[in-house]
């Protein structure tokens, strides 16, 4: 009988902390947007400032309409990256809107510009394509949509600052080869299809080396005097 009592006491002594741990593990996390997007910030950095991996871009401060369009594109497999496709597969539109609004409102500082590792001639080509385009090849200037400060335009044109050259190159390549698409008119696909590999390298190098302006926020829709080159907002 004494042995049985001692065995029971040992069982209780082991079960007590387990029960306490179980009770603690069932406590609900705070239902805030910051808590909900922790899966995002694990790759894209705190506040969406950009991840340490050069292929995880900055989300902070981009127009909410643009971010929402990209979440929809990942959910619909128009953009292909399995972790993103999996995370978004069953999230409703209202949730995606809330996520987009959250990151659009963040304003962490932009990272320092990247030191170019290409020739001066290639940098000059990049500057020319980005700021003037190439009318002979039907290539509009990037500044025509993304604005001359390259901070983007509301409601759905992203800024191009604070991105690594490899990320810019990868996205232009995705547009060129159709692995990244948008609903018609797919403006970026039409533009990127006219770029050569050298053009892509030059554009990526010049954009990534740009210093950030004091107020790196998207401009208001219609702020540019000229119409958008594609006649529609890129997605």
pLDDT of res. 14? 40
Equal CATH topology for 33-108 and 120-208: yes
- What pLDDT shows up at residue 52? 81
Cβ 106 vs Cβ 208: under 8 Å: no
CB atoms within 10 A of CB 39: 10
Assigned superfamily of 33-108:
Cytochrome c-like domain (1.10.760.10)
Q: How many CA atoms lie within 13 A of 166 on its CB side?
A: 4
Give the max Cα distance, the chain: 98
- Tokens, residue 208: 């990534």
Residue 26 Ramachandran class (φ > 0 left, ψ -120 to 50 alpha, else beta): alpha
pLDDT reported for residue 25: 58
Is the bond preceding 185 in cis, omega lying within 30 degrees of 0? yes
Residue 113 DSSP label: P
pLDDT score, position 26: 65
Element (H, E) at 142: none
DSSP string computed for 47-110: GG---SSTTS---TTS-HHHHHHHHHHHHTTSS--HHHHHHHTT--HHHHHHHHHHHHT--PPP
Distance between CA atoms of residues 209 and 161, nearest Å = 9
Residue found under tokens 């002979």: 136
pLDDT tens for the chain, 235 residues: list them: 444 344 434 433 444 444 455 455 567 767 888 888 998 999 999 999 998 888 899 999 999 999 999 999 999 999 989 999 999 999 999 999 999 999 999 999 999 999 999 999 999 999 999 999 999 999 999 999 999 999 999 999 999 999 999 999 999 999 999 989 888 889 999 999 999 999 999 999 999 999 988 778 999 988 876 666 665 455 5
Class of domain 120-208: mainly alpha
- The full set of domain ranges for the chain reads 33-108, 120-208
Q: What integer pLDDT is reported at residue 213 of this predicted model?
A: 83
Looking at residue 226, its pLDDT comes to 64
The reported pLDDT for the residue numbered 195 is 97
């Amino acid at each position: 009988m004494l042995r049985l009592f001692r065995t029971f006491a040992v069982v209780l002594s082991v079960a007590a902390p387990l029960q306490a741990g179980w009770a603690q593990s069932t406590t609900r996390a705070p239902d805030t947007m910051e808590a909900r997007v922790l899966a995002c910030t694990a790759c894209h950095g705190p506040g969406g400032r950009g991840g340490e991996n050069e292929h995880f871009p900055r989300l902070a401060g981009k127009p909410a309409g643009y971010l929402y369009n990209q979440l929809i594109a990942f959910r619909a497999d128009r953009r292909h990256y399995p972790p993103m496709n999996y995370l978004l597969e069953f999230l409703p539109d209202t949730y995606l809107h809330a996520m987009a609004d959250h990151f659009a409102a963040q304003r962490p500082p932009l990272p320092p510009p990247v030191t170019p590792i290409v020739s001066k001639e290639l940098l000059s080509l990049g500057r020319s394509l980005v700021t003037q385009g190439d009318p002979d090849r039907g290539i509009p200037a990037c500044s025509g949509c993304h604005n001359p400060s390259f901070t983007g335009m509301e409601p759905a044109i992203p800024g191009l600052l604070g991105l690594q050259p490899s990320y810019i190159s990868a996205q232009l390549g995705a547009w060129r080869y159709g692995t990244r698409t948008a609903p018609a008119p797919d403006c970026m696909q039409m533009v990127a299809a006219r770029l050569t590999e050298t053009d892509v390298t030059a554009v990526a190098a010049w954009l990534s080396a740009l210093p950030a302006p004091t107020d790196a926020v998207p401009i208001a829709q219609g702020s540019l005097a000229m119409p958008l080159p594609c006649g529609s907002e890129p997605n």
